[in-house]
Amino acid sequence: MLDMDLRLLLQSLTPSSQSVYVLVFYFVYLAVAGEILPGKVIRGVLLPDGSQLRYRCNGLFALTLLVAILGICAKLGIVSPLVVADRGLELLSATFIFCVLVTLALYVTGRSSSDKSSSLKPHVSGNLVHDWWFGIQLNPQFLGIDLKFFFVRAGMMGWLLINLSILAKSAQDGSLSQSMILYQIFCALYILDYFVHEEYMTSTWDIIAERLGFMLVFGDLLWIPFTFSIQGWWLLNNKVELTVPAIVANCFVFLIGYMVFRGANKQKHIFKKNPKTPIWGKPPVVVGGKLLASGYWGIARHCNYLGDLMLALSFSLPCGISSPVPYFYPIYLLILLIWRERRDEVRCAEKYKEIWAEYLRLVPYRILPYVY
Ligand code: NDP
């Protein structure tokens, strides 16, 4: 029996040619759409050598066009809307193999690069696993495409596409529930909002500070779409009855989380562009001319993480509390953001020195006021 289960699992993990076609179509579409569709061109942060990358933020256009194309193809019977939901494990293993191959290629090309620019300069520690895992170059490119920006976009869009396929499956097998609808709406709003504000992504830690290695590629292409959708997969096989107060409370957690998450990220973004812009209608409190210490950034040093955690919780609450499985995402995010916040503090302390110490004095809480 166990032997049989194992064989079935291995079978569903083996990528078929169809799952490879799905991935190839997806990446080719994103590469072409990213290059040709119109979108606001944003300058990235100033790199140590004085250069600045340019990012074409046309993700919302690319995503809506892709969903429209897939919707029409599904209507015409060219593509099954269940293609992802029916081949989840296969697509997962095909994506994993792709991540390994692409990061080995990044390792080899990174090591042999003699480029001296901040984006392409190789950072080699000599430890193969370390260099492959953390990456060698900051902003490697392929055919002129910035791979870091490309992969994060592919992961976020992939998450929505997986969810939509799960939605189609639950509609087809008659299991569509209030829980599934709530989960789908919250995630879709979050992902669409991400692409509406895609330009903010260009100043995040991943884009400005992490090199492109297995950790980031795996995180973007596999971790985000496949694990953030666990609640949807779980709801396909589990029924949850939600009371009206539970639905209302769930909506509140989502809305407050969204307000804090978006508000904090927006305030920092606006502040970086123009440090004189009023925050909540008042002149900003600025430390050493560089750090914002009012608005959300005066409540806790990473209020944006607090908002993100509330949003993550709101994606899981529709699943009720009968199982810990749908809470994988908020629990993982809690661990990740605490770890990340600590690394960011070290980086900021080194960069801003006494200005950072003054900011710590003014804003003593890291993420949750009075608690942490
Ligand atoms: P932040 O957007 O918080 O960026 C941190 C950087 O902002 C610091 O390194 C510093 O950079 C600058 N900074 C910090 N404090 C201040 C201040 N008071 N005033 C001005 N600048 C300041 O971090 P992330 O890039 O990690 O996160 C961005 C968003 O992405 C967050 O909302 C987070 O929740 C989300 N996220 C989501 C994940 C997920 O899996 N769902 C994973 C990771 C992040 P500088 O040197 O430029 O000043």
Q: Dihedral sign for Cα 22, 24, 28, 34, please.
A: positive
- 10-26 average pLDDT score: 86
Look at ligand 1, atom 34, and give the residue with the nearest C-alpha. Answer: 305
Of 288 and 253, the structure prediction assigns the larger pLDDT to 253
- For residue 289, the model assigns a pLDDT of 85
Tens of pLDDT, residue by residue over 104-152, are 999 999 999 888 888 989 998 989 999 999 999 999 999 989 999 999 9
Residues 6+ apart with CB under 8 A from 281: none
In this predicted model, what pLDDT tens digit does every residue of 167-209 receive, in sequence order?
999 999 988 999 999 999 999 999 999 999 998 888 788 888 8
Provide the pLDDT for residue 161.
97
Q: How far apart are the C-alpha atoms of 210 and 355, rounded to whole Å?
A: 24
Nearest to 210 by CA among 123, 270, 150, 268: 123
**Nearest to 158, CA basis, from 258, 84, 60, 236:** 84
Closest residue by Cα to atom 10, ligand 1, is 348
| Of 315, 199, 295, nearest in space to 251 by CA | 315
Per the confidence metrics, is the pTM higher than 0.95?
Answer: no
| Confidence (pLDDT) at 202 | 85
CA 106 remoteness from chain centre: 21
Q: Name the pLDDT band for 2 (thresholds 50, 70, 90).
A: low
**Using a 6 Å cutoff on CB, does residue 202 contact ligand 1?**
no
What pLDDT does 320 receive? 92
Q: How far is CA 27 from the centre of its chain?
A: 17
Q: How does residue 273 score in pLDDT terms, banded at 50, 70 and 90?
A: confident
Could you read off the pLDDT of 66-115 as tens digits, one per residue?
A: 999 999 999 999 989 998 999 889 999 999 999 999 999 999 999 998 88
The best mutation among 151, 199, 200, 205 to test binding of ligand 1, ranked by most ligand atoms within 8 Å of the C-beta, falls on: 205
Q: How remote is the CA of residue 141 from the centroid of ligand 1, in Å? A: 24
Element (H, E) at 75: helix 59-75
In 3D space, the residue among 56, 58, 78, 59 whose CA is nearest the CA of residue 69 turns out to be 78
Looking at residues 343-351, what average pLDDT do you find? 90
Considering the chain, what percentage of its residues have pLDDT values greater than 90?
Answer: 72
Ligand 1 centre to CA of 268 (Å) is: 9
The SS3 of residue 54 is strand
Place of tokens 């979108």: 39
Neighbour tally for 248: CB within 10 Å: 10
| Contact status, residue 140 vs residue 157, Cβ threshold 8 Å | no
| Ramachandran area for residue 144 (φ above 0: left; ψ -120 to 50: alpha; else beta) | left
Q: Measured between alpha carbons, how far is 345 from 193 in angstroms, rounded to an integer?
A: 27
Atom of ligand 1 nearest to the CA of 359: 18
Tell the residue nearest (CA) to atom 45 of ligand 1: 348
132 CA → ligand 1 middle, Å: 25
Q: Give the closest residue to 164 by CA, choosing from 242, 99, 230, 232.
A: 232
In angstroms, rounded to a whole number, what is the distance separating the alpha carbons of residues 334 and 326? 14
CA–CA distance, 192 with 199 (Å, rounded to integer): 13
Q: Is the CB of 211 under 6 A from ligand 1?
A: no
How far lies 306's CA from each of 24, 186, 334, 337, in Å? 36, 17, 9, 9
**Could you tell me if the CB of 343 is within 6 A of ligand 1?**
no
